[in-house]
Amino acid sequence: MADGRAQLPLESVTRYRLHQLGFATPTLQMPISAPGGGRFWMDIAVEEARTFIECDGLSKYRDAGLRGDRSVEDVVLDEKSREDWIRGVTGWRVVRVDSSDMRTLESAEARFRAFGLHPLRPARS
């Protein structure tokens, strides 16, 4: 299950929960063409369900060092614009998870099912 492309522990935990729930191995850090020729990188892509999972921590909002000269409002608006673009050009859904969603197998399953994300195979232990 180890994969150097996982940027945060939450990404690894989320992949493990997907595995436990019977999903195929997801793609990590999937590139999406951005306006102006750049790239957006999606944390996790569940290709069988045409769904991206973004693993969110609060530090990108609360830590001024991570925000740079941007306000929390600017960070949220930039994130919204990015997500709108990604959904629009791919037709895929975006599900955001945080550590509380992945704390237990039951909470992960509830979060995924709430967004219509259902495994194609039986769950694994």
Q: Which helix (H) or strand (E) holds 43?
A: strand 39-46
Structure tokens at 60: 């990108």
pTM above 0.75, yes or no: yes
Residue-range domain boundaries for the chain: 9-112
Indicate the pLDDT class of residue 30, thresholds 50, 70 and 90: very high
pLDDT(122) > 90 = no
Q: Which pLDDT band holds residue 114 (cuts at 50, 70, 90)?
A: very high
Q: Which CATH architecture has domain 9-112?
A: 3-Layer(aba) Sandwich (3.40)
Could you tell me the pLDDT band of residue 6, with boundaries at 50, 70 and 90? very low
The CA distance from 40 to 24, in Å, is: 23
List, for residues 33-50, the tens digit of each pLDDT value: 999 889 999 999 999 899
